[in-house]
Amino acid sequence: MNGACDPQTAALLEHPALAGPVTVVLAHADVLARGAVRRAELSVQPPERLRRLRAHARRVRRARSQAETRYKKERARRTGRTRPADPLELRAARAAYPHAFGEALRHELRAHGLPDGTPDAPESDLAEWAWQRRTAGDELPAPVRELLDCDDDTFVDALLRDAREEENPHLTHDAVAERWNRHARTALAWGRYAVGKAEQHVLTGPLSLRRARLDALDDAQQDTAVLAARAREAQLKVLDLRDRMRACVTTGPVADLVARCRAAALARFADAEPEAWQYVRELVAAHRADCPERTGGCPHCHHHLAAGLTGTDPDDDHPDADTAPEDRYALLADLPDTAVVAVADAALDDDTARCGHGWAAEDGTTGHGDSFASSSGEAEIIGACTAALDLLERHEDVPVVVLCDSTQAVRVLDAVLHSGEPAAEQRALLFPESRELVDRLLPHRHRVQVRWLKGHIGHDLNETADALARLALRRAAGRISASAARREETRILRALDADAAAGLRTAA
């Protein structure tokens, strides 16, 4: 990575078995390299040193990206196809008539005492059954059982202790791996939260305390680097587990049994749908006559054959393909004339969990600020809640509608406002800042709506909210002075076209 490795070590690092571990190491190095740049910025290092640190961080990021690509190739080569491809007729029938073929397959699986599920998917019921059958009788160690039985918050605490105090060897157990992987991102978000809080203390504290607070920031970055490495380890462990689970249903006696069930399901399908089956056979026979991949069993051709059987376009899988253009944007024609409409947006710093948020309303008011968020979705929730609370205070007894371009934020806030219970969306509201805002919004839930607006389409209020959010994030991170921020805010507000804002109801 640094160009200082001896040839023998460099050759060892290229071994395929190390493709995964190298990505773990570089995940750790990436966090530390970017943290070194930030510490140098906050401690006002000479420009030449900053340039060197930034160049090093870019090298690490590039090395990490290359390592991830290499790992994916190695895994694809290693896993490959562990069983011969199904006959083309079967694959085409399954793709073109999924419900009819699926029902036939379910009958055959049940007849042989097998659970339902798609045999190819490692997370399916059948793969789970095969894996449990193979591992039946293995008694779980007490620490593993404890990790399985605890609640989610306790499990995340265990992941944080694993990174900060002592590595927990039981996390790698097959029974825990998927839960580890599922919650590793949450633990990493709390690590970034600690980094953001430490950085905030550096920026807001007196210069006399800056050295000590920079040391605290360094500690938080070290913890976060370990959390990033452990999160990558969890991903690798789950991928390995799923590969082994897949092998349970693609090799050996179970694979033979599944193959017989598929063949019997095809025969059952042919009896139930004779005309469709005849059409499948004729189309496959015509296809094989001139397919350049026929010697390899036409591995990918069933998608286009299924499209020919059903009369659909195999490349037309966009969810909005058949939707009228106006239905893809926010429709506000159903709102009363008294409603106040605003657009909110947010920007997130992945390294520190710091976020900036901004909003702009039809009535000409705007606002922006900063907070902490575990994801872009949570940042958008904070932006929407802040806009709604400000407008509720400014306008009494009128509906308030906030538009944002995050489908996750709209879904979460819709669910919370409808139910009146923020606990239902607790996973999306990870940090205390977002939970506090939602709690403040709930007493006004009958006056508030949150709707989706397609982002980055040149909408004046959306563009203003986006610019204010990015400005708020830069200011919170100390990357722009207070005077420069004021000038930038003035420029953004001058660019807001009042006529376009007034036409939001009809143009959105």
Task: Examine the domain organization and report whether 374 and 490 are in the same domain.
Answer: yes
Domains held by the chain: number: 3
Task: Examine the domain organization and report whether 70 and 150 are in the same domain.
Answer: no
Q: Is 18 within a domain?
A: yes
Q: Is 305 within a domain?
A: no
Task: Examine the domain organization and report whether 182 and 267 are in the same domain.
Answer: yes
pLDDT tens sequence across 260-273:
888 999 999 999 99
Task: Examine the domain organization and report whether 370 and 234 are in the same domain.
Answer: no
Q: Cα separation of 388 and 365, whole Å?
A: 12
Q: Is 352 within a domain?
A: yes
Which of 182, 132, 118, 188 has the alpha carbon at shortest distance from 160?
A: 188
Task: Examine the domain organization and report whether 334 and 379 are in the same domain.
Answer: yes
Helix axes 210-250, 174-204, angle to 10 degrees: 160
Q: Is 336 within a domain?
A: yes
pLDDT tens sequence across 193-228:
999 999 999 999 888 888 899 999 999 999 999 999
Q: HSE-up of 101 (CA within 13 Å, CB side)? A: 19
Query: Which phi and psi angles does 373 have, rounded to 5°?
Result: -145, 145
Task: Examine the domain organization and report whether 115 and 223 are in the same domain.
Answer: yes
pLDDT tens sequence across 336-389:
788 899 999 999 998 999 999 999 998 889 999 999 999 999 999 999 999 999
- Model pTM score: 0.81
Domain final residue pick, 272, 290, 320: 272
Q: Cα separation of 89 and 95, whole Å?
A: 10
Residue 432's identity, in one-letter code, is P
Q: DSSP code of 455?
A: S
Task: Examine the domain organization and report whether 137 and 225 are in the same domain.
Answer: yes
pLDDT band at residue 65 using 50, 70 and 90 as cut-offs: very high
Which three-class secondary structure state does DSSP give residue 410? Answer: helix
pLDDT band at residue 499 using 50, 70 and 90 as cut-offs: very low
Q: Is 288 within a domain?
A: no
Which of 389, 349, 390 has the alpha carbon at shortest distance from 373?
A: 349
- Percent of the chain predicted with pLDDT > 90: 54
pLDDT tens sequence across 296-317:
778 888 888 888 888 765 554 4
Domain final residue pick, 241, 272, 303: 272
Task: Say if residues 340 and 398 touch (Cβ distance below 8 Å).
Answer: yes
Task: Examine the domain organization and report whether 354 and 478 are in the same domain.
Answer: yes
- In this predicted structure, the answer to whether residue 507 has a pLDDT above a threshold of 90 is no
- In this predicted structure, the answer to whether residue 326 has a pLDDT above a threshold of 90 is no
pLDDT band at residue 4 using 50, 70 and 90 as cut-offs: low
Which of 229, 195, 191 has the alpha carbon at shortest distance from 30?
A: 229
- Which residues pair with residue 452 across a beta bridge? 404
Domain final residue pick, 14, 45, 80: 80
* Structural domain containing residue 358: 330-507
Which of 10, 8, 23, 481 has the alpha carbon at shortest distance from 239?
A: 23
- Report the greatest alpha carbon distance in the chain: 84
pLDDT tens sequence across 375-418:
999 999 999 999 999 999 999 889 999 999 999 999 999 999 98
Q: Cα separation of 233 and 422, whole Å?
A: 32
Q: What is the sign of the dihedral through the CA atoms of 27, 147, 170 and 119?
A: negative
Query: Which phi and psi angles does 390 have, rounded to 5°?
Result: -65, -45
Task: Examine the domain organization and report whether 360 and 446 are in the same domain.
Answer: yes
Write out the two tokens for 213. 């607070």
